[in-house]
Amino acid sequence: MSDLHLSVVVLSWNTREILRACLAALERDVPCEPREIIVVDNGSADGSAQMVARDFPAVRLLCNAENRLYAEANNQGALAARGRYVCLLNSDTEVRPGALDRLAGFLEIHPEYAAIAPRLVNPDGTVQRACRRFPTLLEPLLESTSLGTFPPGSWLSWWTSMGDFDHQHSRDVHQPPGACFLLRTAEYLAVGGLDPSLSLFFNDVDLCLGLWRKGRRIRYLAEAEVMHHQGLSTRAHDSRDRNLLWIQNRTTYYRKNHGRLAERWLHGVLELWALECNLRIRLGSREASAKRKALADLSGFVRECVRA
């Protein structure tokens, strides 16, 4: 570990133009303490790595021959980090001046906190309400079926998604937005970083849950602001592949943190989801053929997930 204060790890896969904007924002943010920027390029085919090497020569560039996905590639960047703190930053973000200094500064004077995340805003300045409570066993049922659309299911969904929090002030949270997430490098590495078996989804939830179970606190800092083009960093993934990964990663998360019975419960929920899709197809009007076909495709997809 060198005398660097902060290492910012930016993961990119075919996000050249938003990556350029992300790095330009970091370049404009003059830090109070020495920092480094590490870009992990996950085998991009759009010239992202060449753009970084040409336009941002001060950035440390790690190039993978293939897409190693989110968890493994972020761990790769963290292992290369030389700063006391490490920030995992999505390529679809643009940090506001002083935001990273405020995040690291909070951890500097509050050793009881393990991690911290900023307020995320949309390009129009509106706040993204991205904090959540840890998922319960009921959440998959409410998300996957119509039970989450009316009380009491809708009330439970509102509570889990922290509908009671306006995101305008700072507070302790279970699961802050993962688009910008800052920790002490040594602690991140000590807990093993992000679980590679949760390759694209639920890895940040799993990390936060692990920290909370160790008695470590996590802070949402509204005074630090980062603009977030929500979803652009993962849009290059094929939607069907992304949906399958989401279901697989969710199942792995529940099995890891709640046991094998939870995994069986999730398979049951998927079966119920498929049944509901089929009922909608049978009860739908003949005129809605396109919608019925989409539901039939979804039902078939769900069956594939159960068998996977």
What predicted TM-score, i.e. pTM, was given to this entire model? Answer: 0.88
Domain boundary among 206, 228, 250: 228
Instruction: Check residue 293 and give its pLDDT.
Output: 52
Cα 235 to Cα 9, 10, 69, 159, 238, distances in angstroms: 20, 16, 13, 28, 8
Total structural domains within the chain:
3
Q: Are residues 102 and 11 in the same domain?
A: yes
Instruction: Check residue 288 and give its pLDDT.
Output: 47
Q: Are residues 265 and 140 in the same domain?
A: no
Q: Answer yes or no: is 1 within a domain.
A: no
Residue with tokens 């303490």: 33
Instruction: Check residue 284 and give its pLDDT.
Output: 66
**What region, left, alpha or beta, does residue 183 occupy, with left being phi > 0 and alpha being psi -120 to 50 degrees?**
beta
The pairing of strands 171-172 and 85-90 is unpaired
Q: Are residues 113 and 213 in the same domain?
A: yes
Cα 176 to Cα 53, 98, 131, 221, 240, distances in angstroms: 32, 19, 4, 10, 26
Query: Do residues 91 and 19 make contact, with C-beta atoms less than 8 angstroms apart?
Result: yes
Q: Are residues 151 and 111 in the same domain?
A: no
**Alpha-carbon gap, residue 161 to 53, rounded angstroms:** 40
Q: Are residues 210 and 274 in the same domain?
A: no
Q: Answer yes or no: is 80 within a domain.
A: yes
Q: Are residues 111 and 153 in the same domain?
A: no
Measured over the CA atoms of residue 281, residue 268, residue 253 and residue 171, the dihedral's sign is positive
Instruction: Establish whether the linkage from the previous residue to 151 is cis, with ω within 30° of 0.
Output: no
Query: Do residues 131 and 159 make contact, with C-beta atoms less than 8 angstroms apart?
Result: no
Q: Are residues 194 and 101 in the same domain?
A: yes
Cβ neighbours for 238, distance < 8 A, ≥ 6 positions apart: none
Domain boundary among 228, 244, 279: 228
Nearest to 144 by CA among 281, 298, 308: 298
Q: Answer yes or no: is 120 within a domain.
A: yes
Phi, psi torsion values for 92, nearest 5 degrees:
-95, 30
Q: Are residues 80 and 124 in the same domain?
A: yes
Give counts: helices (H), strands (E), the chain: 11, 9
Q: Answer yes or no: is 242 within a domain.
A: no
Phi, psi torsion values for 86, nearest 5 degrees:
-125, 135
pLDDT tens, position by position, for the chain (308 residues)? 467 999 999 999 999 999 999 999 999 999 999 999 999 999 999 999 999 999 999 999 999 999 999 999 999 999 999 999 999 999 999 999 999 999 999 999 999 999 999 999 999 999 999 999 999 999 989 988 888 888 998 999 999 999 999 999 999 999 998 999 999 999 999 999 999 999 999 999 999 999 999 999 999 999 999 999 976 555 555 666 788 888 889 999 999 999 999 989 988 888 888 788 777 767 765 544 544 455 455 555 555 655 55
Instruction: Check residue 274 and give its pLDDT.
Output: 77
Domain range enclosing 283: 259-307
Q: Are residues 172 and 276 in the same domain?
A: no
Q: Are residues 67 and 209 in the same domain?
A: yes
Neighbouring-strand partners of residue 235: none
Nearest to 206 by CA among 266, 140, 258: 258
Q: Answer yes or no: is 172 within a domain.
A: yes
Q: Answer yes or no: is 202 within a domain.
A: yes
Q: Are residues 192 and 154 in the same domain?
A: no
Instruction: Check residue 247 and give its pLDDT.
Output: 85
Q: Answer yes or no: is 77 within a domain.
A: yes
- DSSP, res 237: S
Helix axes 289-307, 239-258, angle to 10 degrees: 40
Nearest to 114 by CA among 204, 187, 213: 187
The pairing of strands 85-90 and 180-184 is antiparallel
Q: Are residues 40 and 144 in the same domain?
A: no
Q: Answer yes or no: is 154 within a domain.
A: yes
Amino acid in the structure at residue 223: E
